[in-house]
A and B are shown apart, each in its own frame.
Chain A
Amino acid sequence: MSIQLEEVLKNQKGQINGEVGNDIHEENITQLVGFIVGDEEYAIPILNIQEIIKPIEYTRVPSTPEYVLGAFNLRGNVIPLIDLRKKFHLASRNQNNETRYIVMKEGENIAGFVIDKLTEAIRLKESQIEPAPETISREKGMISGIGKRADSILTILKVDMLLKRDF
């Protein structure tokens, strides 16, 4: 037991040191959370996420665009709910077991976003993130950059733009 424990501790120590070393000696690391909407993988900075919850009932709010589903109750606070599929002009799909609401926050602004599926927490070095190509105009300034990984790329979204009311 004690040997195992020591090993674990040693591992952990190594991890901590390694991380610290990485941060200081190499370059800045951005922590992101990845999720899927439609066929693509997107990511937002982990610090902008207040929490991720399973779908709950919401109330429709009239006179809003279609992608604003309504508002829901998050422990006593009324939070707007936005469907990212509709916001990205994708065909809508019914909610299933993998559907989640990501509650994003930027300063005082807060809103919940419906996503198809969560993927994972991602750590990207600054060199792995490229600015958004200028030709992409569909999501009008919603993209802050493109993250490159060994086997895939992901779109990093600007949370402040997502939370900006555009109607």
Chain B
Amino acid sequence: MDDLQEILEDFLVEAFELIEQMDQDLVELESHPEDLELLNGIFRVAHTVKGSSSFLNFDILTKLTHHMEDVLNKARKDELKITPDIMDVVLKSVDMMKALLEAIKESGTDADCGIEIEEICAKFDAISSGKVVETKEIPEVIEKEEAPEANMEDMSDEEVAKEIERLLAQKMEEKLAKKAKKTTKTNITTESAAEQLKEVKAKTSTKETVKPIAKKTPSTPEQTIRVEVNRLDHLMNLIGELVLGKNRLLKIYDDVEERYEGEKFLEELNQVVSSVSLVTTDLQIAVMKTRMLPVAKVFNKFPRLVRDLSRDLEKDIELVLTGEETELDKSIVEEISDPLVHMIRNSCDHGIETPAIRKAAGKSEKGTVNLKAYNEGNQIVIEIKDDGAGMDSEFLKMKALEKGIITEREADLLSDKEAYGLIFKPGFSTAAKVTGVSGRGVGMDVVKTNIEKLNGIIDIDSELGKGSTFKLKIPLTLAIMQALLVSTQEEYFAIPLSSVLETVRISMDEVYTIEGKNVLRLRNEILSLVRLSDLFGVKQIFDSGEHAYVIIIGLAESKMGIIVDGLVGQEEIVIKSMGDYLQGIDGIAGATIRGDGGVTLIADVAAMMHLAKDIKVDLTQQATNSVSQSKSSPSDYNVLIVDDSKTDRTIMRKSLAPLGVTLTEATNGVEALNILKANEISFDAVLVDIEMPQMDGYTLASEIRKYSKYRNLPLLAVTSRTSKSDRLRGVEVGMTEYITKPYSPEYLLSAVSKNIKLPVEA
């Protein structure tokens, strides 16, 4: 039973592949009915399936394919002309073959699966006996010399069937022999027998396919092996780790370069680092490529779809495919299939007009839908373009108002492009009645959700009367991506670069308020605006000031602006799961590990847009409202003294005593930094000695300045180093003031009180 199961599995795999091919060929055949080559190919498929299914005792499938074969054979011998009506029957029978095969896959038999084939068999009979054949048309002349050729192929098919039979018999024998021995080797040998079988099958099938092709275009068989997707996933994970290692190495190199400037070993290190980084990148691309599949995998089912649609809708539509060879990550190819089906249905149903209308508009009766795929940078673009009616933004707005999707005020504010975007809203439909093809208002919502899932962007262009173009921009791969790293207060976030449209620096004056929401006018667009820190509940430690960086993010068809405090840069990041415990947090898509070993969260752009709707913080109000914590007495002010000498610390303490401010002491840079990091006291100024053990004043200052919240903290260098270069270095690392020893107590006092903005007592 086991080996029969194996044969069955092989049969199913082969049959599904063959039928997929058949589907394409049939649609092709309809436009080139005289192509005997195609017809022969289709006939062979029917024949092969018939042969194997009769061998495996699938009677219903055999009967169906037998009838189909009859008709095709007649057509092949030019006794029958393939009309669209006959094609309908043939295509329907192909669908039935698929259904039967599915049933076999499920239950192992095609009996009692509830698929009725009698009717279609009768139709086939009628066709082949010539009753429905339209003989009105003049039969086309086809060279008769092709016939014997076809017979030969006939033979080879029978050979295949025989070969399978022979091998099965052989395997049965082997198995019986092994069973008698009752050794554990049984499995291995049957496996090898199965392999043998596969090999032979492969050979015969190459024989089959190569022969007809060889007549026209000589081609070599593909040199491929099948690999489990799991293995590729694992490989991809490992590469991810390597990329993280590379990032880390680059970061360390940068640090080392800064510290040991001009040292000889640096150059050597540089060479190693760059070569490792280069190889890693290449490796990453190579592995990514192994996961790539041509878009054709998805595209190929569309000719049939369009053909059926145009028959249903009584329109004349031609689908033109370009760039099918463009490659995409396997997981993405699977995800875009559904959205594309909906987009194409949409174009055929709403885009292309009926032949009569087209003629009246002065267009050719045949409408065209172009489906095109091409690469653009790190993205792949899939373009669906029709030469139909185009979209009327006013009409769309009206419909949306009718259905209560938008308010009148919103409608007024919408630009043309935004109005086109309305078609992606759930429940939106312009169809007057629900048909088999459209009208439920679900399809385009599916498109939007799926494209969002992939971090993709939908761009719509339309001209009334000329047609519409939809562009889907999708990242090439999901595991490793380019991200823009941004900071808000002390926290960093990574935003997928595929969703970032641009970054701009604005002044807070440019922020307007419409209906309680902040918006930014960017060129001709009005974009809603939120602060990243409000989205993610980051505490406002310091005020970002007059200017702000805005990141314009786009997802599917919508756009918005996000205010951040700083742009860190672009980096290649590897998406890591945060485990079950932190899975599915709103607004967070995952985490990544940065070059410094820290964890950075990756923003989920779709969720961010959703979160933004509920944010009611008025930025224009906040800018003026930011009042610093009230400090009533001088002792509310905190000053940190960092000096290794006890005497110096005492002198400073004594000098500052009249001010009455609270003083904290640290004996070296490390200690001071820890006090600041602990964040227990918020300091108003720091007095720093330059020469200290463990960490000197310069290093301390530059470390302090790394924290955004201490960006404006007054740092006063108190030192006996007086040379100009020392002063310059002080400015470089961010010292606010440079006080040279010895100093008068009054001088220090005034410098400190000036810097902490101590109110002069009245």
Contact = CB atoms under 8 A, between A and B. Distances in A.
Interface of A: 57-64, 68, 70-73, 76-80, 94, 108-111, 163, 165
29 contacts: A59-B491, A59-B591, A59-B598, A59-B599, A59-B600, A59-B601, A60-B491, A61-B585, A62-B535, A62-B537, A62-B538, A62-B585, A63-B588, A71-B591, A71-B601, A73-B593, A73-B597, A73-B598, A76-B593, A78-B577, A78-B578, A80-B582, A94-B680, A108-B579, A109-B579, A109-B580, A165-B580, A165-B581, A165-B582
Contact of A72 (B580, B586, B599): B599
Contacts of B601: 59, 61-62, 71
A77 to B, nearest CB: 7
Interface string B486-512: 000001100000000000000000000
B303 interface: no
B599 A78 contact: yes
A60 B585 CA distance: 12
Interface in B565-591: 576-582, 585-588, 591
Interface of B: 241, 244, 491-492, 535-538, 576-582, 585-588, 591, 593, 597-601, 678, 680
A111 B586 CA distance: 20
Given A59-B491, A78-B576, A163 B599 contact: no
Contact of B582 (A71, A94, A108): A71
A57 B598 contact: yes
A68 B579 contact: no
B537 A63 contact: yes
Contacts of A108: 579-580
Contact of B576 (A77, A109, A110): A77
Nearest to A71: B599
Contacts of A70: 599
A77 B579 CA distance: 9
A57 B351 CA distance: 56
A62 B587 contact: yes
A51 B223 CA distance: 48
Contacts of A77: 576
Given A62-B536, A108-B580, A78 B491 contact: no
Contacts of B536: 62-63
Contacts of B587: 62-63
Contacts of A79: 579
Interface centre among B535, B538, B581, B678 (most CB of A within 10 A): B581
A61 B273 CA distance: 33
Contact of A110 (B241, B492, B579): B579
A80 B581 contact: yes
A37 to B, nearest CB: 19
A75 B184 CA distance: 43
Contacts of B241: 76
B579 A73 contact: no
A63 B598 CA distance: 20
Contacts of A80: 578-579, 581-582
Contacts of B582: 61, 64, 68, 71, 80, 165
Interface centre among B492, B576, B577 (most CB of A within 10 A): B576
A80 B599 CA distance: 11
Contacts of A71: 578, 582, 591, 599, 601
B679 to A, nearest CB: 9
Nearest to A111: B581
Contacts of A59: 491-492, 591, 598-601
Contacts of B678: 94
Nearest to A95: B678
Contacts of B597: 73
A78 B585 CA distance: 14
Contacts of A76: 241, 244, 593
A62 B588 contact: yes
A109 B579 CA distance: 7
A68 B581 CA distance: 10
A79 B577 CA distance: 9
A101 B72 CA distance: 73
A16 B587 CA distance: 55
A111 B491 CA distance: 22
A78 B576 CA distance: 7
Given A80-B578, A111-B581, 10 more contacts: A58-B599, A60-B491, A61-B578, A62-B601, A64-B582, A64-B585, A71-B591, A78-B593, A80-B582, A111-B579
